[in-house]
Amino acid sequence: MRCGICHAPLRASGISRKSGRMSPTYHPCPRLTDPVAHPARARAIADAEAKSAMYLGNANEHTEAGRPEAAQRDLDRSQRWLDKANELRGWGEGRR
């Protein structure tokens, strides 16, 4: 039996007796988690990181200019984009 995504051979011990399929926790397909194997995901991660860095820089400028409300707004945006990048990587808890 082989993975339906990357066609890697599956070990018999990981196959569910009930459904006959692999559990996703047993065989995380590298094509779904590895940015090199999935270029669209790598671009999305890079885009999210760039937006996070942009908003962080804007927040620093607002702080230096004495605009705390605008700084906090951009810090929140930066954190949102960093969370998105981590979610795309498969790090963290993700959405609930």
Same domain, 55 and 85: yes
pLDDT over 70 at 34, yes or no: no
The reported pLDDT for the residue numbered 29 is 61
Q: What does the mean pLDDT of the chain come to?
A: 77
pTM over 0.85: no
End-to-end distance of the chain based on CA atoms, in angstroms? 33
Mean pLDDT of 76-87: 94
How many domains does the structure of the chain reveal? 2
Structure tokens at 95: 């959405």
Same domain, 38 and 54: yes
| Residue 15 main-chain phi, psi, to 5 deg | -90, 130
Same domain, 59 and 96: yes
Same domain, 56 and 76: yes
Query: 20: domain range?
Result: 1-33
